[in-house]
Structures are given as C-alpha cells and as structure tokens.
Structure 1
Amino acid sequence: MLEDDKWLIESIRLSSGEIGVMPDIKLRKDKPIFAQGEPAEAVFYVQEGRVKVTVVTEQGRAAVVAILDAGEFCGEGCLTGQPSRLTSAVAMSDCVVSRLEKSAMRRLLRDNEQFFEHFLQHLVAGRTRLEAKYVSLLFNSTEERLARVLLNLAGVQNPSSRPWVITGINQETLAEMIGTTRSRVSFFMNKFRRLGFIDYDHNIEVYKTLRSVLLRGDAAWGDDI
C-alpha cells in the first residue's frame, strides 16, 4: 500500500458494510481479476502488487494495454455503461485489490470529494499515458519504444548511478507492450546489455544511461527494421 493512499483505503473499508464493496481481496501471482468479455460490474483498486491489463483480438493477437502499480484503478470502463469487459486484468505479482461494484463506486465519487479528485487524477494520468503510447507507436522505432517502456517501468527519475530493478516482466510481455515480436525485443535487450544500459537475469536492472537511446535519433541507432 502506498503511504499517501492510506486515507483512500480507509474510505473503501469504511464503505465495506455497504452492498458491493470488498475492500481486501488477496490474489496470488497470475490470478485473474477480470476477463475480456465477462460482464463489467465493478471497479478494482490496486492496493499492493502489479496488475497487467491485456486485450486479445478476434484473430488471437494479444497486446498489453497497461501495467498498473499500487494506487491505480482498473475496470473503470463499467462506469460509462460498458456492458462487458473489453480487456482482461491479471495479477503480475501477489496482489491486494479492492472491488467496488458500480453503485458503490458512484456513491464514493458522489459523497467523498477527496476520493473523486484522486480518481479524476487517475483518469487523466491514464489518458496521458495512452496518448504517449500512440505517439510512440507512430513515430518511434522499436528500439526507442523498448527503451521508453523499460525506463517507465523502472521509474527512473533522478540522476543516481545505481540501477533500478524491474521485477516480474518477461520479454514476451515487453513485446506485447510495444507492438513487436519477442525476437526483436531479445535483439535489443542484448544490445542494451552489451552497451551497459541494462543487465538482466531473473530481474531487469536499468541504468540511467539507457536514456541516451531516446536522445539519439541519428543513423548510429539504425538497427531497427
């Protein structure tokens, strides 16, 4: 649980006596939260852990829509009248989530101004991430998209020389996140490691020098096809 969000968890728990509120659901890694196509009846709040949101086309192609950390919501499409889930959500690690049925979520949004403001910030942040993802797909190479995703997942913010560690993400998931094949991800992961930008075994260690991939648009980075 994020320290700054304790008040939000308490708001949900105080509502737990109401119909449709389940405040502390524990899920093991790889357990589904909801599945594409099932009725959209509730919003989920991630208290602890990391959640992957995916979509599968009719042709069977899969893509990662979002990776959500503690403090974020998923399944909010039900509030717009969405009858069934357009995506699936699964726990990428051991998780604790809260489940709020549509009516309970609407009550909290109506009666709790702080909760409303937090949820609004989540929606705006999600929209901003989605726009950035579309821009990246349109204008960035596979190499640049991979570097950006690794930096975002690692949360690289300050100039420290220490590595930031990404856990629970494999190359197949990275490929689904940036719209390419696993072999292309493997190619660039090996390249980044040779250049000293990352290191990986079970986890991925990301160094701030990986930012240089995003700062160089010349032919030296022209290995993409």
Structure 2
Amino acid sequence: MSEHLNVIKEHGNTNCFSESNFNRLLVSMKDRIVPEGSHLFWEGDVSDKLFYIKRGRIKLTKSTDEGKELILYMYQTGDMVGQADPFFSTKHSFNAEVLEESEIGVIEHKDLEILICQHCEFAIDFMKWMGIHHRLTQTKFRDLMLYGKPGALCSTLIRLGNTYGEEQGDNILINKKITHTDLSNMIGATRESVNRMLSDLRKKDAVEYDSGMIVIKDLAMLQEICHCEFCPNEICRI
C-alpha cells in the first residue's frame, strides 16, 4: 500500500482492515469522480454497493415528513459509506449528499461477497467495520435521547473536535466552518435554540469563535454536560 493511502486509511473508519485486506478492497473498487451537490444515493434506492471516499466529504441525511433535514453522519477521506447489512437486498434509509467534489471507490456487493468467501481474515475485518458502524449509531442515539438538547449539542461539538479538530495549546479548533443550521440539523433542534445554547457555552468560556470556526476551550465542561463515556475516537466522531 502506498504511504498516501496508508495515511488515509488510518484517519478513516477503515483502519480496522489489515494492510493486505485493505489492498484487496482497493483492487475491487471502481473509481469515479462525483461533483459537489450530487448524491451517491437517495433514500429508497437499492443498497447494492459500498462507497470508499478516496478524497472528499459526504453527509448522510434523513428527511422528516415536515421537510426538516436531520444530519446523521459526516464522512470524509478514508471512510467507507453504505448499509452495514449488505446481503439482504435492503434499501437505503438515508440520502448521501456530496459536500465537495469527491473521488469515490465503488464496491459492488457481489465483489464483496467473493472477498468474504475467499478470505476468512477479510471477513473478520469486515465484521469489525460493521461493529464500529453499529457502535457509532448506538452512541449517537444515546447522546440525542438521554441528556436533552444541551447534552446532544456538547456531544456533537466533541465529535466535531475529534473529527476535524486541531490542537491550539489547551484549545481545540474545529477546522471546518459549521453553521448553526448545520448544528441544529445534527441534533434535531431549532436554529434559535442552538444559538441560545452556544451563547450560554460562550458565557461559561467553554467555546469561542475564531474566523467563523468554533474553538473548544473547556473540553471537560462539555464532557460533563453530555455525561461523556470516553469512547475511542473511531466511535466518538461526527
């Protein structure tokens, strides 16, 4: 594996694959470029592929009957996207929107089945990937449901810090511009309530803004509000 691809894998959700098994995955992919604003798939499409992000960012969303968008996952370079139960001819439950021009490796389920049948160690690594996916989903629902909107917001800020964070002394800069609308869509709240909660956190000196980007100043306070369970970073991510 090239050094470049090795770095990508280590920063994505595919770091559970050994080098040899990751190479098998790479060989089975068909590359394509997808433009910003397009969709990898829509809710209701047949789930017959997985998608590996070689370059770019993808968000998975769910729309309510009232037309409100809930952002469930934000994927980036090194992540594999798709249904975690790929062998039951299911349909996608979410929309996958491309946030910037991306290079995607497309893996057909039939090719994945061959790899799993031929290489038992690949099957074990794939099960690890599925386990990470399920744990990520479980912890996100815990954060959204158990500790109210302030807990959900603080958890989301921590996850953003783990995903996009850059250390600046004792602070963590979330090096992506995240709007209040984005945050409200991530936690199922109104933009106005997110504004109020962020204002409260700024008054407590837990967060601040730097050139439109959020800076976490008191990580311990955010962890206390959301009753953080200190999950590993591959789980505690946006």
TM-score normalised by structure 1 residue count: 0.77
Q: Is the 8 A contact 2:34 2:102 kept in 1?
A: yes
Q: CA deviation at 1:77?
A: 4.7
1:43 aligns with 2:50: yes
Q: Percent identity?
A: 18
2:27 to 6, 14, 34: 14
Q: Distance in 2 between matches of 1:168 and 1:94?
A: 17
SS of residue in 2 equivalent to 1:138:
helix
Q: CA deviation at 1:78?
A: 6.2
Q: CA deviation at 1:140?
A: 0.7
When residues 46 and 137 of structure 1 are mapped into structure 2, their CA distance, relative to the original with a 3 A threshold, is same
Q: Is the 8 A contact 1:92 1:168 kept in 2?
A: no
Give the AA of the match of 1:165. I
1:149 aligns with 2:156: yes
Q: Distance in 1 between matches of 2:124 and 2:169?
A: 33
1:185-204 to structure 2, matched below 5 A, reads 185-200=194-209, 203-204=212-213
Q: CA deviation at 1:132?
A: 1.5
**Which is further off, 28-37 or 201-210?**
201-210
SS of residue in 2 equivalent to 1:40:
coil
SS of residue in 1 equivalent to 2:196:
helix
Count of aligned residue pairs for this structure pair: 211
1:5-154 to structure 2, matched below 5 A, reads 5=9, 7=19, 10-15=23-28, 21-22=29-30, 24-77=31-84, 79-113=86-120, 115-154=122-161
SS of residue in 2 equivalent to 1:79:
coil
1:213 aligns with 2:226: no
Q: Distance in 1 between matches of 2:81 and 2:124?
A: 16
When residues 169 and 104 of structure 1 are mapped into structure 2, their CA distance, relative to the original with a 3 A threshold, is farther
When residues 141 and 210 of structure 1 are mapped into structure 2, their CA distance, relative to the original with a 3 A threshold, is farther
Q: CA deviation at 1:208?
A: 4.7
TM-score normalised by structure 2 residue count: 0.74
* Cα deviation 1:16-55 (Å, max 9, x = unaligned): xxxxx41x32334332111112232211122233321111
Give the AA of the match of 1:153. L
When residues 137 and 78 of structure 1 are mapped into structure 2, their CA distance, relative to the original with a 3 A threshold, is closer
Q: Distance in 1 between matches of 2:52 and 2:38?
A: 15
Q: Once superposed, what is the RMSD of the aligned Cα atoms?
A: 3.0
The runs of 5 or more residues in structure 1 that have no matched partner are 16-20, 218-225
* Cα deviation 1:39-93 (Å, max 9, x = unaligned): 3221112223332111123443321222223333222256142442211111233
SS of residue in 1 equivalent to 2:100:
coil
